[in-house]
Amino acid sequence: MTAWLASIVGVVVVGVIVELVMQGRRMGNFVRSIYSFMVLLVIVSPLPKILKVEWWSTKNENLVNTELVASLQQGNKQFQVTQILYAMGYKNAIVTVVDDTIYVNLGEMLSEDKLSELQTKLGQEVVIL
């Protein structure tokens, strides 16, 4: 409440100073209208808090389609894994995403060393078949 009163006093003081400087100038009416609008905004600014009114929604569910974002993230994961496999020479690998698990079918058998190296590069959420 004291901050609100201080801001009103501050705007009024600035307005008085501007009025003294702009006295008799052609833009005086424009400056007065802008000043009046600022005073109105400062006076009205605490009303939403006092009335506890939410003027806009801050919930992510209303702003973003979460299913679309999840499908885009899965597609991005699938693309990243495919790119890593392609760079390592596995050009015929089949990558699928089910829920949050990525399944990789290489179409060939690997030694334990190569399998552990590949698992380290791809991450623990990747299941190599």
pLDDT in tens, the chain (129 residues): 678 788 888 888 888 888 787 777 777 777 788 888 888 888 888 877 777 766 555 555 555 566 666 666 667 778 888 888 888 888 888 888 787 788 888 888 888 888 888 888 887 778 887
22 by DSSP, 3-state: which? coil
CA-to-CA distance for 18 and 120, rounded, in angstroms? Answer: 67
CA-to-CA distance for 46 and 52, rounded, in angstroms? Answer: 10
Q: What is the pTM of this model?
A: 0.44
Nearest to 122 by CA among 75, 91, 86: 86
- Amino acid letter for position 7: S
Residue keyed to tokens 């299913």: 67
102 by DSSP, 3-state: which? strand
